Chains A and B, each alone.
Chain A
Amino acid sequence: MFRLQGKLVDNLPKVYGLYTGGFLIFILLMSILDKMGVSAQTIGVLFVAFTICIYALIGWLSRTMELGAYYVAGREVPAVYNGMATAADWMSGASFVALAGGIYFGGYGYMAFIVGWTGGYVLVNALMAPYLRKFGCYTVPDFIGTRYGGNVARFCAVVILVVASFTYVTAQIDASGTIAARALNISYATGVWFGLLAILMCSMLGGMRAVTWTQVAQYIVLIIAYLVPIIWMSNRQGFGIIPHFSYGEAIQRIQELEPMVKLGLKATESFPGRSVLTTPFNATGAPLESWKFATLALCMMAGTASLPHILMRYFTTPSVRSARKSVAWSLFFIFLLYFSAPCLATLTKLQLLDPNLPTAIIGKPFAEVANLAWIKNWASVGMVVISDSNKDGILQINEFFMRPDVVVLATPEIAGLPYVISGLVAAGGLAAAMSTADGLILAIANALSHDLYYKMIDPKADVRLRLIVARVLLVIIGIAAASIASLQITGILGAVAWAFCFACSGLFFPLVLGIWWKRANRQGAIAGMILGFGAGSLYLYLLQTGAITPWMGIDGLRFGMIGMPVSLVSMVVVSLMTPAPSADIQKMVDDTRIPTGGTILDAAH
């Protein structure tokens, strides 16, 4: 056994090195069990149980009764580790499970998510993170409240934060419930509550500190779980050792195959939630195509730079310089998954379409396909449907229905990989969903406990009481989110895009201009938040109720395109119509821009 000399932060490479090694040995052990004939079900359970126990252990070891540790992990997280934690915080169940499937079905239009969810970090680094770190706040509304002054501004920021994060967190709890239900063979409703319990175990006792160290562990699991199947499959199917740089020919081949399999034929039957492939893989030059790409990417980027659960991760680094460095590492770690998703989508599509490959199903005799093990397996849980609509005995492209999630979840089976990989993928998906849910629930609970309770309701509360309130709120929010998730209202990705649009409609310009425009004042910020958020929400509401049709292709995924301009214009106009902020505030903005010196807010504010 090894002993820790000194504090955890001094031993991180050793601790996480051992952890990663342990996890790899565990995978090896599982594949031995797999070979010995242990059922896929048991292996799935072992994977999920083992990883959750580790996270819970880390959560328990990181328990704390200190404010700084609870809210900002003691501001001692080194840049690289904070990068990993942010990457796990960032990559949700949707990124892990649905992204590759989305690309498979959506092609060019969908890839705006990939560009948006990575390019957003350029904005985070250039405009936000270092300055917010210098400010020394505990939460994002803390910045708004101090920079602009007054409880109204703080309260508006809290409301937007709660709406955006809550929309997002229900999707994450939904994803963890779905994965837990499948891996543990329990009902979806039980899965949701089980998922919530696992999420709370990671965050309740240690707040940000516990979430940080579990997120690092979760990142390691999720990236191994995403990359191993792709690389394994690629080697098995002869696409190259590391397929990422050599799958270009596969794209050309898909473009050749698309007319041959008559891509574009509409399905003559329908199965809710499952669809047939109709969209070409590459750009087609259709009207508004580029515009829709750009608007979606912009909403996702601005949303990235205003989502509080991401911004608050950069409050945990020791210095401004390390905050910047950790944004760079965050994006690098995120990039590893995001540049793999199109690769996975391409290879899966090729395997299903290309008649020269043994895995092809389109154009094959219907009875033969219906007998494939993976088709039977996924059809039994309703994820895949094949139906010989035109009764010609051949499976056509418009007769193969699947849920987008299948691309990630079933690819190991399509390629004939052992069951151990499916267990690994389940553990990875769960890690992705749990880590994001943890970050979001903590962001909401911290905003409510710090900004609403401590700053606005009871400024005399002592540390003990504040931490108890923070934990009670954490549990309440978790329960509320799980209750809504169990209603299963929207699909995972719809809810995720909404969260980004809510956040960028209300918070993007008040945050950016708070740092970059000294003249921005309280009235302007309040107008920017209320009108921007209001306009975006109203537009979404009208769309959802069917009162209007999308204008210029701006649909429910990109309603930030309505909210953001309203927010910017109203903030600038109202700021200029009202008096400039006081000299003290202007001095505060100057101080924010200098990397050295103490934080603007003192440590125990």
Chain B
Amino acid sequence: MAPNTEAERIEGHWSKTRTLTFVILGFWFVFAFLLPWNTKALNAIPFMGFPLGFYFIAQGSLIAFVVMIFVQNWFQDKIDDEYGFHEE
């Protein structure tokens, strides 16, 4: 549904932006804190020859962060376009 007024347009855009941001921060919490916190337990699982816990803090979380930012930006661009906030 196309928003009617300018205020609705701004409100809709911000509410979607906010939701996206919180979802991304949720993922961030998992890879920045939850997995590293449990490194010792995760180490029991092998992954590509690595102990899994070590893998996350040395590589896996880092890759996740990079992907997370690209994905967030992709969705944010879609939100901007949807509400007509596309820049030149």
Contact = CB atoms under 8 A, between A and B. Distances in A.
B33 A114 contact: no
A122 B68 contact: yes
Contacts of B51: 248, 251-252, 282
B36 to A, nearest CB: 6
Contacts of A108: 39, 54, 57
A285 B38 CA distance: 9
Contact of B65 (A111, A119, A127): A119
Given A108-B57, A122-B28, A252 B72 contact: no
Contacts of A119: 28, 31-32, 61, 65
A313 to B, nearest CB: 15
Contacts of B53: 282-283
Interface in A313-343: 319-321, 324-325, 327-328, 331-332, 335, 338-339, 342-343
B77 interface: yes
Contacts of A122: 24-25, 28, 32, 65, 68-69
Interface in B10-63: 10, 13-14, 17, 21, 24-25, 28, 31-33, 36-40, 43, 46-51, 53-55, 57-59, 61-63
B50 A251 contact: yes
Given A108-B39, A319-B87, A594-B13, A324 B76 contact: yes
B28 A248 contact: no
A319 B80 CA distance: 13
Given A248-B48, A282-B54, A593-B14, A342 B59 contact: yes
B87 A115 contact: no
| Chain B facing A: main interface SS | helix
Nearest to B48: A248
Contact of B25 (A118, A126, A595): A126
Nearest to A117: B62
Nearest to A318: B87
Given A119-B31, A282-B54, A301-B32, A249 B62 contact: no
Contacts of A112: 36, 57
Contact of A126 (B21, B31, B58, B77): B21
Contact of A595 (B31, B46, B50, B87): B87
| SS class, residues of chain A in contact with chain B | helix
Residue from A283, A319, A332, A339 with most neighbouring chain B CB atoms (10 Å): A283
Contact of A294 (B13, B28, B37, B73): B37
A401 B33 CA distance: 33
B74 to A, nearest CB: 10
Nearest to B88: A319
A119 to B, nearest CB: 4
A297 B69 contact: no
Contacts of A251: 50-51, 54
Contacts of B13: 593-594
Given A126-B72, A283-B40, A294-B36, A331 B65 contact: yes
* Leading 6 A-B pairs by shortest Cβ distance: A248-B49, A248-B50, A342-B58, A283-B39, A119-B32, A285-B40
28 contacts: A108-B54, A114-B58, A118-B61, A119-B28, A121-B69, A125-B72, A125-B73, A126-B21, A126-B28, A246-B48, A247-B50, A248-B46, A248-B47, A282-B51, A283-B53, A290-B39, A290-B40, A319-B87, A321-B80, A321-B87, A324-B73, A325-B73, A328-B66, A328-B69, A335-B62, A335-B65, A590-B14, A596-B80
